[in-house]
Structure 1
Amino acid sequence: MNAAFDTYPSLEMAFSDRFRGHNERDWTEWAERHFYDSATAIPPQAGEVWLNRQKLNYRGISDKNAIRHLIAANVDQAFLGEIGSLVDLKRLELECPFLAADLTPLLSLTNLEHLSIDSPRNLSDLSPLLELPRLKTLLITNAKKMPNIEWLRGAHHLEVIGIEGAIDCDYTIQSLAPLAGLRSLRAFLGVSTRLADKSLMPLAECPKLEFLAIARFAPRSAFEQLQQARPDIFCRWFDPKAWGTAALKPIE
């Protein structure tokens, strides 16, 4: 474990922050230095920006070409259209709620490496996101209308995939089979999720997988089987001591 990981209370939290991209973020600093009430208040040279949409306060953000990391909340279609003009964006976090229904503006962000979308209310098909050529991290949270993860088959360029539910609403993954064999996948994040078929073994076929942060959504025997096949993966449920804690109610 390196010095940076030594500052965390657990190895799981250290891995989670690393793969979510939070390990180098100070939220207090972001609130003090990077939060803006409107796009017009953003300096031309600002590289990191946090903006919550209130009426039309986002107008003009398309001209802020220095932005490389944007956190945006309450994004509707018009706001997303302006974000689509920020062609040098590398990291985009679309916070709850995400109201747009057409992802087309994002496809112009050809330099984007990290994308997270929280609570997309009007989307069922997220497959266009796989057209982003440099995307490495894709985190989807509380996508109530997304029927399954079949669209992730062949997403060999992604290194981190997160398919997660919300605190008060678990998301059911029918099967992990679409992830089998993904060549670049290093981490799969599945907090507040359920797994319908209870099989973890598709993950054993991901050669670079090193971190698994999921709910206890399969029998203990399934985790033991995966551990035997891939002892190189870090997963808290590989530790027998972890089974003393509460689990999600299994699907009938």
Structure 2
Amino acid sequence: MTDLNEFYRHWLHTRRPDVPAFKSAADVPIDVQFAHVVRDKASHRGVGLRSGLRELAAGAPNQDYLEEIGSLENLEYLDLGWPMTATDLAPIGKLTKLRTLRIDSPRAIADFSAIAALPSLERLFISNAKHLRTLDFLRPLKSQLIALGVEGSMYTAQTIATLAPLEGFALEALFLTNTKLEDQDLSPIATMPNIRILGTGINAPRAQFYALRDAKPDLVCQWFDEKAWGSFKDPKPPRSMQ
């Protein structure tokens, strides 16, 4: 399970533990391919000129930082780290080679549609997104995403209306850690032909997990094991059923 998690999550800091960290874009060598650049006021200025960058962890990105990132046409991996104050994701729509996108706590983002226009995107992870309630915007990525995470923070659950927009997706891995499903329905996962791993908290009744286990016996999920439930109880039913 751990190996599968690492493979699909594809984090920069685990794949490249020696990735150089910079406090100022001015210190980033012009030909560097991998970097971690944390913004302090305007210290990000000039990162858009580092055209050789293929993988970037961007700390504290505001809108100006995101505009510069939009100039990095060779970027394949982008981690937009906390605290993210950018208000518009439109600049990432220019990143046609981007394969992995991670967005942590986008508190001011209400429109995620720019993500669906990324032609090379394979892995997408969004966590603690204050204004994200529906997954409808993901529909254009049905045949290209192999890993998806829509997750909450350590203390705040990520509320999602339903997984229905993901029906038939080509996903191999789905991560729903600390995610609250309003309809508590896991059946859309059973329609995913390639699904291998489901990492999730208890966001549906036990019967839902067992039904999914029966439909997808090769799927890896800790809640398929009856012993894992111990004293855990089903979540409260949706309001429509109360």
The verdict on how the C-alpha distance between 1:63 and 1:154 changes in structure 2, with shifts beyond 3 A counting, is closer
> What one-letter code is carried by the residue in structure 2 that aligns with 1:152?
L
Q: Count residues in correspondence.
A: 237
- Which residue pairs with 2:22 in the alignment? 36
Post-superposition CA distance 1:80-101 (Å, at most 9, x none): 1111111000000000121111
- Which residue pairs with 2:160 in the alignment? 173
Indicate the SS of the match to 2:126. strand
> What one-letter code is carried by the residue in structure 2 that aligns with 1:159?
I
CA distance in 2, matches of 1:248, 1:75: 38
C-alpha contact (below 8 Å) 1:39/1:57 kept by paired residues: yes
The verdict on how the C-alpha distance between 1:202 and 1:105 changes in structure 2, with shifts beyond 3 A counting, is same
- Which residue pairs with 1:81 in the alignment? 67
C-alpha contact (below 8 Å) 1:45/1:66 kept by paired residues: yes
Shift of residue 26 of structure 1?
Answer: 5.6
The verdict on how the C-alpha distance between 1:247 and 1:62 changes in structure 2, with shifts beyond 3 A counting, is farther
Post-superposition CA distance 1:193-250 (Å, at most 9, x none): 1112111111100101111001111111110100101112111111122112657853
Instruction: State whether structure 2 residue 11 is matched by structure 1 residue 22.
Output: yes
Indicate the SS of the match to 1:101. coil
Gaps of 5+ in 1: 1-10
Shift of residue 155 of structure 1?
Answer: 2.1
> What one-letter code is carried by the residue in structure 2 that aligns with 1:165?
G
Instruction: State whether structure 2 residue 77 is matched by structure 1 residue 91.
Output: yes
CA distance in 1, matches of 2:191, 2:18: 40
- Which residue pairs with 1:213 in the alignment? 199
Give the alignment's TM-score, normalised by structure 1: 0.89
Q: 1:71 aligns with which of 40, 57, 63?
A: 57
The verdict on how the C-alpha distance between 1:23 and 1:47 changes in structure 2, with shifts beyond 3 A counting, is closer
% identity of equivalent residues: 35
- Which residue pairs with 2:37 in the alignment? 51
> Aligned Cα RMSD in Å?
1.8
- Which residue pairs with 1:115 in the alignment? 101
